[in-house]
Each structure stands twice: as structure tokens, then as C-alpha cells.
Amino acid sequence: MRSRQRMFAAVMRLLLKCLRLGRRRRFKLVRQVEQLWHYGHLCLCSLLYNSFTNGDVVLDSLFEPVYWLVDHVTRWFGVVFVALVIGLTSSIVAIVYICLLPLILQTYTPAWICWHLTYGHWNLIMIVFHYYMAITTSPGHPPQAKNDLTGVSICRKCIAPKPARTHHCSICNRCVLKMDHHCPWLNNCVGHYNHRYFFSFCLFMTLGCIYCSISGWEMFRDAYAAIERMKLLEKERLQVAANQTYYQTPPPTFSFRQRAFHKSVVYLWVLCSSVALALGALTLWHAALITRGETSIERHINRKERQRLQKKGKVFRNPYSYGSWDNWKVFLGVDVPRHWLTRVLLPSPHLPHGTGLSWDLPPCVTEQRAPLLAI
């Protein structure tokens, strides 16, 4: 009897130990889940470490691998893009000289011939000059000596002071003075020293494409109609050839030279029209930025700052804007009236105002700049 009681007591003690062990394991699992929850909550809160952070910071963090891939692809394909620009531009120039220029000299009046020769060659010179200067001119970088530089912030990648309007280019892996963007078609950054060359190239390339599209419209219509006639006659020739012997097959209606001429005219007009639309939109966008005295990067920064100050009842004023007209004079380097001819309408390698390290009032500005903040 006593042995049975002892066995029963032992079994009950074992059962109670199992229940306590299972309860402890459940409590341990609950504690681990709570720790993971608090850790995840802490990681999420770390992304919102100050009041300036919003959803854009979270998206930038999530898309950081995509940015890394785009930066490396752009870095390696920059040479390909430059070769593509040179190749397409050279093909258009070759078509104009080989196909269109003899036709112009034979059919146009002397006045129109002088106009086309003068404007066409002037536009071509401006395009080649500004593109060459844009890809070969350094945009400007802060000096390596940190003691000689007064920075308004510290670059977290270069670990060096950054002057005003300076930003780090992840593709070039360097800080760029008054950086606008990294242009793959130039294989170079657009910054303080080559911003004017980049915009002038876009402007004159757009004007040249519009000029070719308008001047070649009638030729394009005739060439397109001729190609359609070629296709129709080719079908008829094949149908006739199917019912005749080999020796009775008629010769081709159009020669290789005629086919190449018409297709070249169509290629020229389609390419110039497409580039005029795409590059024209980009040129207008940069013209609006220049009018406001901003770069592409500063537009986003100023927009956020404007929204932040608006909530506080204040108005944001761009400290680098001197008014629409003066902004263009500063950007183009126009100090006296004759500079509109020698520095804008003619190729000019003059340097921009300032060094990009400090932004003093340029001599061509007639009015003082507005204060940064106004209540």
C-alpha cells in the first residue's frame, strides 16, 4: 500500500515538473518575441532620428542597392553614351553634306543658300565647341587641404568640409562644386565650371534639331512617299516575276543610291524631331532652374525648406537668386553688353563668376540679394 502511494507521489511530482518546465519554455518564448518586437521597433525609430526625416529617407534606404547598381552601370557606360552622341551627330552631319547640301545648292535661291550655310555652320560650331568643353572641363572640386576650406557641412563619404552648394557625386566618388547632376551623355558631372557648357550644348543642339526638322519637312514627306511607292512597286515586281521566267524578270525600279537617299532623309527627320522634343523639354527645365537661381539638387532642397518654413509662418528666400535677369547674366558670365555677342552667341571659354567655394555678390548684379528668411 505504501509502495503504491510512493509511486503515485513520484508520478505526480514528475508531472508537476513537466508542467513547470513547459510553462518556463512558454514564458521564455514569449520573452524572445517581446525582445524581437522591441528591437524591430527600435530599428524603425532609428530611421526617424530627427524632425527633418520623412518617408523619402526610408525609401532611399530601401533603394540603396538599386542606386549602387545604377551608379556603377552609369560609370561604365558613360563612354558608350559619349560615343553614341558623337556617332548620331556625325551621321546627321554626313547626311546633310552628302544628300541635302547638293540639293539645296541646285534648287534654292542665293539668299536661302546663304542663310542655310551661315546658320547651319554656326549652329554646328556651337554644338561641337560646347559639347567638347562640357566633357573635358572639370566641374570643380573642393581643395584637399582642409585648413584652407571653410565648409558649411561635413561630407559623410569624403569626411571633409563641404562649401555651400557642394554635393557628393556617388558616380565620380567626389564632392562637386555647385553640383547639378551627373550626366551620362557627357560622362562627367555638371558643376560650377562646366554648367554653362552643358546648358549651351543642350540649347544649340535643340535649336539645330528644330532647324533640321523644319527645313527638311518637305523633303521628309517626299522621301516617305517615295519609300511607300518603292514598297508598292516591289510587290508588283515580285508578282510579275512569279509568272515569268528568270530571263524575263524586270530590273529593279529604284537604284540603291535612290533608296539610300530617301531612307537617309527619313532617318534624319525622325531622329532630329525626337531629339528636339526630348532635349527641348530638358532645356526648358534647366532654363527654369537658371531663372530661379537653382540647380537640380537645390530645387528639391529648397522645396522641402520652403514647406518647412511655411508651416512656421515664414517665407523662404533663395540666397543665391539675384532676380531672373541677373541670374541669367551671372550664369552666362555677361558683365557688359558686348558679352552677349562675344560670350553667348560666339564660342567662349571664359570662366564663371567666383571660385565655387564662396558666393560673393557678382559685379554684374545691380540689386542686393533678398534675405534668406522673411517673416
CA distance between the termini of the chain: 97
- DSSP 3-state helix, strand, coil percentages of the chain (rounded to 5)? 65, 5, 30
Phi, psi of 200 (to 5 degrees): -65, -40
Phi, psi of 203 (to 5 degrees): -65, -50
- The conformation of residue 349, written as its DSSP 8-state character, comes to -
Of 135, 98, 122, the closest CA to residue 257 belongs to 98
The span from the CA of 159 to the CA of 351, in Å, is 29
Of 177, 137, 140, the closest CA to residue 155 belongs to 177
Catalytic site residue from 99, 169, 175, 183:
183
Report which residue type is found at 158: C
Report which residue type is found at 119: Y
Does residue 319 contact residue 372 with C-beta atoms inside 8 Å?
yes
Q: How many helices (H) and strands (E) does the chain have?
A: 11, 8
**188 three-class SS:** strand
Residue 169: its H or E element: strand 167-169
The span from the CA of 167 to the CA of 153, in Å, is 10
Report how far apart, in Å, the C-alpha atoms of 132 and of each of 19, 185, 187, 198, 200 are. 82, 12, 12, 10, 11
The span from the CA of 224 to the CA of 34, in Å, is 73
Question: What is the residue whose three cell numbers read 537604284?
Answer: 255
Q: Is 18 a catalytic residue?
A: no
Residues near 251 by Cβ (< 8 Å), separated by ≥ 6? Answer: none
Report how far apart, in Å, the C-alpha atoms of 297 and of each of 106, 165, 176, 304 are. 51, 9, 12, 11
What residues act catalytically? 183
